[in-house]
Chain A
């Protein structure tokens, strides 16, 4: 499915956080949104999935969800948003329980989601006993179990250490290759965006507007190869040139 953001603006009370955002997320692409902190990228993602009503504009979707889709717009959260009193399997099953599925089908879906991301042996473990990386794997399994049409990844790797982040990027891309689900990914990490995205949208500081869109013109599987290093470094420089002044100015503003 594709997602169309049409003239979206948002204000919290008198404080404008987003202005005039027009954006098209193409079917089957990963779009990364980067911008300085406080630029409204999380607000934009919340609007895109229908968790927040924008003050202006609208978000529309086009296309048909994949077969067996139970929740077209599905989030993966920065802080994982797991229920500590439910086991790993229980957390994944939570996304299915209010849908009319047979017990067997539910169990089958949960087991399949857990095994694709290597969590099968932790099904009965509570999240409190898992590392951050394993917790976010649960978050990803819970998102995949509903067979989403659009994945909304809200800084999914920001709470993780660099090595865990690297592992999860590789695992996520391997999974993503199967279904090529349309995905919007928010990050403040340029390297992460350059690993995942087809296109990177740069937002200005608050109120966030689209400053530039940069296509990552290196095949995804080749981006860590030495031959691609020059091109990736050049893109990194382009992005950082776009961001530097915004980030500097944003850092000097008082928090809202």
Chain B
């Protein structure tokens, strides 16, 4: 009998663990490298101002109230366009999830129109609605509408068939099956779609404001660029990032509230 040897261990790795310190360190390292690059003269501050300069400009703009005005103009357009696009998208998407006729009629239309970058139709919306608010809101609503339709009917598709049969087997009326089984079952997919649609809304508001607006973060960033005020430009970009994070935060809060059971 030979000596017993331990069985070699082979099961390590392939497990992701949170490393909070590292996340902060990576962010700090990026800012430090940026600061060092501008401080050492390696980057021209006219084209890439130091993060401290951007922070100071941001502070000034915030204090003067100019930034708040632009931020509010953009946020208002996003809120209005997103709400309209989402309401219409949910109505159409749920109908396409539930009714065969709506699915058959709607799917080719949605498939054909969804890939069009909605900013390409802004000139048309300007002709229809004028250069003011309605054309911008319509562009955002159109951009939000299609992904919401797709999320809503995919969400209905994802509701297990057996749950609907269960409802039928207990004699639940059709409206109750929709309200108590289909809609809540589609909710996780719909909320995941919201994450995408708020991001689209922010992209579109900036693009629309760059084409024709006096107020709004898109107009502000464009003007700053034209004046070579890269510090103001980046300050606007920072605010846009914050706007995106805030919107994503709202979606997360809605998920925590509505999907508590998970």
List chain A positions with a Cβ less than 8 A from chain B: 49, 51, 70-71, 73-75, 77, 79, 81, 83-86, 94-95, 97-98, 126, 128, 142, 146
Size range of the chain B interface in the assembly: 20 to 34
Q: Is the CB of A75 within 8 A of B172?
A: no
Q: Is the CB of A98 within 8 A of B165?
A: no
Q: Is the CB of B172 within 8 A of A81?
A: no
State A113–B176 Cα separation when bound (angstroms): 22
State A98–B259 Cα separation when bound (angstroms): 24
State A86–B185 Cα separation when bound (angstroms): 11
List chain B positions with a Cβ less than 8 A from chain A: 160, 162-163, 165-173, 176, 180-181, 184-185, 187, 259, 261-262
Q: A79-B162, A128-B262 are in contact. Are A85 and B169 (CB under 8 A)?
A: no
Q: Looking at the complex, which one of B163, B180, B187, B259 makes contact with A81 (CB distance below 8 Å)? A: B163
Q: Looking at the complex, which one of A85, A86, A94 makes contact with B170 (CB distance below 8 Å)? A: A94
Q: How far is the CB of B259 from chain A (nearest CB, A)?
A: 8
Q: Looking at the complex, which one of B171, B173, B181, B259 makes contact with A83 (CB distance below 8 Å)? A: B181
For residue B184, which residues in chain A have a CB less than 8 angstroms away from its CB?
Answer: 83, 85
For residue A128, which residues in chain B have a CB less than 8 angstroms away from its CB?
Answer: 261-262
Q: Looking at the complex, which one of B160, B166, B176, B185 makes contact with A75 (CB distance below 8 Å)? A: B166
Describe A's contact surface by its main secondary structure: loop
| Chain B residue at minimum C-beta to C-beta distance from A94 | B180
State A29–B215 Cα separation when bound (angstroms): 77
| Chain B residue at minimum C-beta to C-beta distance from A85 | B261
Q: Is the CB of A74 within 8 A of B262?
A: no
List 9 A-B residue pairs with CB atoms under 8 Å apart, sorted by A's residue number.
A71-B169, A75-B169, A81-B160, A83-B184, A84-B261, A94-B170, A98-B173, A128-B261, A146-B170
For residue B166, which residues in chain A have a CB less than 8 angstroms away from its CB?
Answer: 75, 77, 81
Q: Is the CB of A83 within 8 A of B169?
A: no
For residue A71, which residues in chain B have a CB less than 8 angstroms away from its CB?
Answer: 169-171
State A126–B162 Cα separation when bound (angstroms): 19
For residue B185, which residues in chain A have a CB less than 8 angstroms away from its CB?
Answer: 83, 85
Q: Is the CB of A51 within 8 A of B169?
A: yes
For residue A85, which residues in chain B have a CB less than 8 angstroms away from its CB?
Answer: 184-185, 187, 259, 261
State A86–B261 Cα separation when bound (angstroms): 8
State A146–B166 Cα separation when bound (angstroms): 14
